[in-house]
Structure 1
Amino acid sequence: MIRAVITGTGSALPARRVSNAELAEQVDTSDEWIVERTGIRFRHLAGEGETTGTLATDAARAALEAAGRVPDDIDLIVLATATPDQTFPATATKVQAMLGATDCVAFDVAAVCSGFLYAVQVADSMLRTGVHRRALVIGAETFSRILDWNDRTTCVLFGDGAGAIVLEGQESEAEGGRGILATRLHSDGRYNDLLYVDGGPSTTGTVGKLRMKGREVFRHAVTNLSAVMTESLGIAGLAADDVDWVVPHQANARILDATARKLGLAPDKVVVTVDRHANTSAASVPLALDVAVRDGRVKPGDIVVLEAMGGGFTWGAAVLRY
């Protein structure tokens, strides 16, 4: 059978790294307040010349190098973002041009923090048909440009960055083979007003700013993420005890801890980067995965669960054998 196998990972962060102490000089907050409530200590913020597209391209180049591939080997680019460079065309096409991948399908997916999981399922489906052979799946964001910097409850939570994987359709054994074993996605538009941006081309004609009711989002996140992880593991024929690593959306350390407890997972099986990157929305899962691959924690053959929840609400999980 054909499975989509991760053959390379990469990531990119803006040059500017901002500590809680530096942020407290501009916003009515403190390092203690942020760390206690979120676990965040640093975030990277995009500067002049750094965009979602440039960060995505840098992450893609790193993933291609890790996979031993060149841009012309890629025939599919799926980019998850809620902060595109332009309303149109898709930022994925800008990445395609910057990489020099000349004969390639490229498009964006919009599912906010769950966007990377949505993009993974889209690419997985397209690779398993055999129509495409190799894909770049990217999550990239510049959320700093849609934050209300007068709202201390939200602006301290987010950062900018990008992460990417190379997915290749390969013949794989039904039992024990590498690749994506199961994915499961959900959405429920009734919760729009809990996490949204108050603008858009067809409503206000402006970009708008991020708005969030944090307590309600927290409650839904723990319930939805633990449920979808259990669901996706069941589809893969696995249990929580089979999992080597969980690579979660890096929204809040409390959510990560609560979700792990609900599933009975040891904390040391959860990859945590929220302390250094903050919430990078669609970029957070591939960013964290790249960190764990490059530092040697995630190894070939490991069972890895990716999960995320974002505005919409959207949420999902993917189970893979790395």
Structure 2
Amino acid sequence: MTFGIVATGHALGEPTPVMAAAPGYVEDLRTVRGWGYRTFHRAETGVGLTDLAVRAGQDVLARTGTPAAEVDLIVLAMSDIAEYLYWDAAASVQARLEAHRAEAVLVNQACGGGVTAFDTVAGRFATHDDYDTALIIGANRVCEEYSNRMSANTCVNGDGAAAALVRRGAGGCRWLTTETITDGRYAGFYRLDIGGAASPFTQALAGPVRVSDPFDRLEEFFEGDVAAMFDFARMALRRNREVLERACKRAGVTPESVTRVIHLNDNLKALTDLAGELGVPIGRTNAELALDHGHLGCADQIFGLDRLLASGELVPGDLVALTSMSSGMHWSCTLLRVQPTAEELR
């Protein structure tokens, strides 16, 4: 069973200079400046996660001239809170795209969802012989009532969605495999402690509870054990290499043959460290795209692929690794092989 990406598309919030907006989010600008981001995308008031997802889906369907009625499967990955709770955002996107015969699946594993969504498609294609066309959408819309764009993690977080239309036995980027490592010991590291069934929101709260600073979370989670914090950071970096190696082994290729690594749109130091761990030049990562667009949650990898394909930086034969680290914690890698066009085969 094989499938590949026929086309990609995207929908982004308004481009916003990072340092012009930063005083509205943080008092000390040095950390944000040191991350190296130049621009991020911020959606207009009233534009939700599913709005961006629908726009990205419409974009890729229009690019290919594919009627929504031909789509058999929609996988929506999201990395923030959708417009409503107790609500299936994937089903809403299916209806708004008018892909009424498509099965809708929701993937909600933070920044890795757009990478693992390929495995979801592979599974559905393997068990449903009549599924030929699928739409993968990764979407992110920061809920600013709960999360500060510039202090919730070590990224400048933005709003956007990216979509990939895939077909069985076709596509310009052929899926090879997806691999994920999960370590549930750290499941509580990123959680928002108020608002769930264990501790619901109440009227007694003075205001919305916000995601705390990552360094405060690290301090609390490891109870001030500095050595444990450093061990965690080293482990988290190392597992990006381990999941890439596992994916390469499963696909029957070598890590050295990977042409391009498209990671989450992390800050410059983090991507530099990643490149060093993987043994690739920083120029073979998505560093420049990350600094130009900010972190788009689980849309990063498909968006990066979209931009690199559009610019001609990926050529037939290239082996591309979509990689991510996400809360849970999970480390994921999807391998794709760029295929020659019909004209190039003549």
TM-score (norm. length: structure 1): 0.88
Aligned to 2:51: 54
Cα deviation code 1:223-245 (max 9, x no counterpart): 11111111111111111331121
TM-score by length of 2: 0.83
> Cα RMSD between the aligned structures?
2.5
Choose from 274, 288, 291 the match for 2:290. 274
- For the residues of structure 2 that align with 1:147 and 1:299, how far apart are their CA atoms? 41
3-state secondary structure, aligned to 2:134: strand
- Going from structure 1 to structure 2, the CA distance change for 1:235 and 1:212 (only over 3 Å counts) comes to farther
Mean CA deviation greater in 289-298 or 160-169: 289-298
The CA deviation at 1:24 is 1.8
Match of 1:204 in 2: 199
Distance apart, 1:208 and its partner CA: 4.9
The residue type equivalent to 1:237 in the other structure is G
Tell me the equivalent position of 2:91: 93
Matched, 1:314 2:323: no
What is the identity, as a one-letter code, of the residue corresponding to 1:7? Answer: V
Say which of 189, 203, 217 aligns to 1:194. 189
Read off the aligned partner of 1:182 and give its amino acid letter: T
The worse-fitting range, judged by mean Cα deviation, of 122-131 and 95-104 is 122-131
Q: Secondary structure at the match of 1:103?
A: coil
Go from structure 1 to structure 2 and tell me whether the alpha carbon gap of 1:94 and 1:65 turns closer, same or farther (over 3 Å shift): same
Aligned to 2:256: 241
Aligned pairs (5 A) from 1:99-110: 99-110=97-108
Kept in 2, the 8 Å contact 1:218–1:255? The answer is no
How far is the alpha carbon of 1:284 from its aligned partner?
1.4
CA drift of 1:190 comes to 1.1
Q: Secondary structure of the equivalent of 1:182? A: strand
Q: Does 2:240 align with 1:225?
A: yes
Q: How far does residue 53 in structure 1 lie from its aligned partner after superposition?
A: 0.3
Structure 2: stretches of 5+ with no match in the other structure: 202-207, 219-228, 339-346
- Secondary structure in 2 aligned to 1:10? strand
Against the structure 1 CA distance between its residues 294 and 137, is the aligned structure 2 distance closer, same or farther, given a 3 Å change threshold? same
Q: Which runs of 5+ in 1 are unaligned?
A: none
CA contact (8 A) 1:144 1:160 kept: no
Distance 1:145 1:86, change over 3 A: same
Q: Equivalent pairs: percent with the same residue?
A: 26
Residue 182 (str. 1) matches residue 182 (str. 2): no
* Pair member with larger Rg: 2
SS at match of 1:298: coil
* Residue identity matched to 1:197: L
When residues 45 and 171 of structure 1 are mapped into structure 2, their CA distance, relative to the original with a 3 A threshold, is closer
In the TM superposition, residue 150 of structure 1 has moved relative to its aligned partner by: 9.9
Deviates more, 1:63-72 or 1:299-308: 63-72
Give the equivalent residue in structure 2 for 1:213: 214
How do residues 6-155 of structure 1 correspond to structure 2 at under 5 angstroms?
A: 6-15=5-14, 17-30=16-29, 32-36=30-34, 38-82=35-79, 83-129=81-127, 130-145=129-144, 147-149=146-148, 152=151, 154=153
By how many angstroms is 1:212 displaced?
Answer: 5.2
Q: CA deviation at 1:304?
A: 0.8
Q: Is the 8 A contact 1:242 1:303 kept in 2?
A: yes
Q: 1:105 to 1:212 in 2, by over 3 A?
A: farther
Alignment of 1:154-169 (within 5 A): 154=153, 157-169=156-168
CA pair 321-16 structure 1, distance change in 2 beyond 3 A: closer
Shift of residue 62, structure 1, vs aligned partner: 1.8
